[in-house]
């Protein structure tokens, strides 16, 4: 027998986990914009924790669906909700869960793009530094270019 109260509690717990993840992703975004390495590390650890909690909540919902004879996927959730006498609250929770999940995916995608942009900036800056250390090129008697500067890298300074 399907318990609407039990399903509602599971969906509410999952929503709470996603709200926490959303807040962590916002903090991660701010840390990335500020290029604050310690804050980025803290945000990454918090994000991993929030993702673990959300995954656990999702697993509990899937187990409940299976225990009640439904598939452990979105269609099974819809079927389970449809079997309840008063599905309105459950439908609202499901819709809120789906919307928040989409927002978290988008925030994480944007943070990933920002990380990629920062990495490219860092690579470009290092390339400029490496080129300036190499000095002017000279040529051998065979016409091959030879770097007349030292081959010392930035890390060897």
Provide the CATH number for the domain around residue 59: 1.20.58.300
User: Can you tell me whether residue 70 is helix, strand or coil?
Assistant: coil
Q: Report, as an integer, the average pLDDT of 12-31.
A: 97
pTM above 0.85, yes or no: no
pLDDT at 26: 97
pLDDT at 105: 96
Examine residue 140 and state whether it is found in any structural domain, yes or no. Answer: no
Please list the helix, strand and coil fractions of the chain in percent, rounded to the nearest 5, in that order. 75, 5, 20
Residue 60: is its pLDDT beyond 90? yes
Total structural domains within the chain: 1
User: Which of 22-31, 40-49, 70-79, 130-139 has the weakest average pLDDT?
Assistant: 130-139
pLDDT at 96: 97
Which residues, including other chains, have CB under 8 Å from residue 137's CB and lie 6 or more apart? 145, 146, 147, 148
Q: What is the DSSP string of 89-128?
A: HHHHHHHHHHHHHHHHHHHHHHHHHHHHHHHHHHHHHHHH
Q: How confident is the model at residue 122 (pLDDT cuts 50, 70, 90)?
A: confident
Examine residue 141 and state whether it is found in any structural domain, yes or no. Answer: no
User: Can you tell me whether residue 79 is helix, strand or coil?
Assistant: helix
Q: How confident is the model at residue 118 (pLDDT cuts 50, 70, 90)?
A: confident
pLDDT at 125: 81
Q: How confident is the model at residue 67 (pLDDT cuts 50, 70, 90)?
A: very high
Q: Does an H or E element contain 149, and which? A: none
Full residue range of the structural domain in which residue 40 is found: 4-135
Q: Which residue has the higher pLDDT, 47 or 120?
A: 47
Examine residue 40 and state whether it is found in any structural domain, yes or no. Answer: yes
Examine residue 9 and state whether it is found in any structural domain, yes or no. Answer: yes
Cβ–Cβ under 8 Å, residues 135 and 147: yes
**Max mean pLDDT range (10-14, 141-145, 150-154):** 10-14
Q: Report, as an integer, the average pLDDT of 115-135.
A: 80
Examine residue 20 and state whether it is found in any structural domain, yes or no. Answer: yes
């Amino acid at each position: 027998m399907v318990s609407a109260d039990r399903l509602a509690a599971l969906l509410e717990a999952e929503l709470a986990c996603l709200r926490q993840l959303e807040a962590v992703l916002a903090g991660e975004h701010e840390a990335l914009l500020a290029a604050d390495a310690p804050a980025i590390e803290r945000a990454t650890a918090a994000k991993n924790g929030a993702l673990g909690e959300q995954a656990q909540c999702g697993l509990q919902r899937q187990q409940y669906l299976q225990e009640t004879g439904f598939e452990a996927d979105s269609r099974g959730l819809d079927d389970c909700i449809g079997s309840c006498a008063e599905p309105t609250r459950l439908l609202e929770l499901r819709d809120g869960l789906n919307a928040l999940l989409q927002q978290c995916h988008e925030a994480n995608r944007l943070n990933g793009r920002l990380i990629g942009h920062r990495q490219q900036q860092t690579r470009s800056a290092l390339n400029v530094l490496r080129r300036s250390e190499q000095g002017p090129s000279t040529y051998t008697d065979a016409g091959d270019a030879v770097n007349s500067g030292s081959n010392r890298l930035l890390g060897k300074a």
